[in-house]
């Protein structure tokens, strides 16, 4: 049996990827410091002999005497709330952690996939954003610990491919949502759902006209699996190109939850992109991938998962 190593495997995306690989007959090694991950996301897999969990930082040494076919580096705080609270851990995940995972892939002659982000495009001057766009990023701003960590990790990944012969790939992930997001995640969908379900005002930053594109986690996992099992070396955007204003998103969540909450406005956060939409031409052409789940169809199970999490929290 071949194994997949997933750093950040107890997190939102990592745990869904763990499920997907186990369902495909692989063993999975999860590496997670649990700074933002949670073993509860893997509790349903307890007792599965194909799953090994190492509670440690991805930058720490790890020797595996297993047949490793894929290494997926997904370890990093990913929401502004998290990476501003943990700036050094975020920077180290993109540098020391990426180096450690790339070395693991090199030793095992495994395919490596870096989880990068749409944030490498910064506050874009090109819309939608193709992979060829170099970005408009503030390297010293409050979001730079995350943006620059991912940009450095991309450069390191390509250096390992060019100079050390590692079979690498890069997925640039756009806003993703679904069950297992934390109640206090800090991103738009978890914030709005939590506020709606608890009867709080829905807080929007700016005038609510900023746009985002939201990809349901099942679609994202499908795209990631296709990419990691290919030999594509260059970055590939994976996200949903349907674009909504933040106010439209808030209104959809209020409609689905049935909540009667006011919408209030707060000042715009520094360096927060005004628009965000992936150009997925490359994913369509090279992977035959595009999202299939609409925002409403994805929000429904996400909201139900939040209801369940809130009920457990209250209990």
- For residue 286, being part of any structural domain is answered with no
Q: Could you tell me the pTM of the whole model?
A: 0.96
pLDDT on residue 116: 98
Secondary structure class of 168 (helix, strand, coil):
strand
49 φ, ψ (degrees, to nearest 5) = -70, -15
Contact 166, 112 (CB under 8 A): yes
Contact 192, 249 (CB under 8 A): yes
Q: Give yes or no: residues 12 and 76 share one domain.
A: yes
pLDDT on residue 309: 87
Active-site amino acid positions:
146
Q: Give yes or no: residues 84 and 69 share one domain.
A: yes
Q: Give Cβ neighbours of residue 163 (< 8 Å, ≥ 6 apart).
A: none
Cα 221 to Cα 17: distance, rounded to the nearest angstrom: 6
Q: Give yes or no: residues 139 and 199 share one domain.
A: no
Secondary structure class of 266 (helix, strand, coil):
strand
Q: Give yes or no: residues 163 and 247 share one domain.
A: no
Q: What is the CATH number of the domain that holds 98?
A: 3.40.50.720
Torsion angle of the four alpha carbons 279, 281, 282, 286, in this order, in degrees rounded to the nearest 10: 150
- For residue 61, being part of any structural domain is answered with yes
Q: Give yes or no: residues 228 and 207 share one domain.
A: no
- For residue 305, being part of any structural domain is answered with yes
- For residue 284, being part of any structural domain is answered with no
Q: Which residues of 22-38 are buried (b: 16+ CB within 10 A; e: fewer)?
A: beeebbbbbbbbebbbe
Please count the structural domains in the chain. 2
Among candidate residues 7, 2, 18, the one with its CA nearest the CA of residue 62: 7
- For residue 120, being part of any structural domain is answered with yes
pLDDT on residue 148: 97
Q: Give yes or no: residues 151 and 20 share one domain.
A: yes
Among candidate residues 228, 256, 5, the one with its CA nearest the CA of residue 113: 228
Cα 38 to Cα 46: distance, rounded to the nearest angstrom: 14
Q: Is the bond leading into 188 cis (omega within 30 degrees of zero)? A: no
Q: Give yes or no: residues 162 and 33 share one domain.
A: yes
Q: Give yes or no: residues 158 and 250 share one domain.
A: no
- For residue 248, being part of any structural domain is answered with yes
Assigned token pair, 147: 């943006």
Q: Give yes or no: residues 192 and 310 share one domain.
A: yes
Half-sphere exposure (Cβ direction) of 58: Cα atoms closer than 13 Å: 36
**Backbone region of residue 83 per phi and psi (left: phi > 0; alpha: psi in -120 to 50; beta: other values):** alpha
Neighbours of 107 (CB within 10 A): 13
Q: Give yes or no: residues 127 and 254 share one domain.
A: no
Tell me the pLDDT of the chain (315 aa) as tens digits: 999 999 999 999 999 999 999 999 999 999 999 999 999 999 999 999 999 999 999 999 999 999 999 999 999 999 989 999 999 999 999 999 999 999 999 999 999 999 999 999 999 999 999 999 999 999 999 999 999 999 999 999 999 999 999 999 999 999 999 999 998 888 999 999 999 999 999 999 889 899 999 999 999 999 999 999 999 999 999 999 999 999 999 999 999 999 999 999 988 777 788 999 999 999 999 999 999 999 999 999 999 999 998 887 654
pLDDT on residue 314: 54
pLDDT on residue 269: 78
Tell how far CA 277 is from the center of its chain.
15
Range of the structural domain that residue 259 is part of: 188-211+242-272+293-314
Q: Give yes or no: residues 57 and 168 share one domain.
A: yes
Q: Give yes or no: residues 71 and 87 share one domain.
A: yes
- For residue 281, being part of any structural domain is answered with no
Q: Which residues of 157-189 are buried (b: 16+ CB within 10 A; e: fewer)?
A: bbebbeeeebbbbbbbbbbbbbbbbbeebbbbb
- For residue 192, being part of any structural domain is answered with yes
């Amino acid at each position: 049996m071949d194994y997949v190593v997933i750093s950040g495997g107890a997190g939102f995306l990592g745990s869904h990827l763990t499920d997907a690989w186990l369902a495909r007959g692989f063993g999975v090694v999860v590496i997670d410091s649990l700074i933002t991950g949670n073993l509860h996301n893997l509790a349903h897999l307890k007792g599965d002999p194909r799953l090994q969990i190492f509670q440690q930082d991805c930058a720490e040494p790890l020797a595996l005497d297993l047949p490793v076919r894929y290494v997926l580096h997904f370890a990093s705080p990913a929401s502004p709330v998290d990476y501003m609270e943990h700036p050094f851990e975020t920077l180290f995940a993109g540098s020391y952690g990426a180096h450690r995972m790339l070395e693991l892939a090199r030793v095992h002659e495994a395919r490596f996939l870096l989880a990068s982000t749409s944030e490498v495009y910064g506050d874009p001057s090109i819309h939608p954003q193709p992979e060829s766009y170099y970005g408009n990023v503030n390297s010293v701003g409050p979001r730079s610990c995350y943006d620059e960590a991912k940009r450095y990790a991309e450069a390191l990944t390509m250096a390992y491919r060019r100079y050390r012969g590692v079979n690498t790939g890069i997925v640039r992930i756009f806003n993703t949502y679904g069950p297992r997001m934390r109640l206090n995640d800090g991103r738009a969908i978890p914030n709005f759902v939590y506020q709606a379900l608890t009867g709080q005002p829905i807080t929007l930053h700016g005038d609510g006209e900023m746009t985002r594109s939201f990809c349901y986690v099942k679609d994202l996992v499908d795209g990631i699996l296709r990419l990691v099992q290919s030999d594509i070396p260059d970055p590939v955007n994976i996200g949903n190109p349907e674009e909504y204003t933040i106010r439209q998103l808030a209104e959809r969540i209020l409609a689905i939850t049935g909540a009667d909450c006011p919408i209030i406005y707060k000042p715009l956060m520094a360096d927060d992109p005004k628009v965000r939409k992936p150009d997925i031409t490359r994913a369509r052409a090279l992977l035959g991938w595009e999202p299939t789940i609409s925002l409403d169809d994805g929000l429904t199970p996400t909201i139900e998962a939040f209801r369940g999490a809130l009920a457990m929290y209250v209990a």
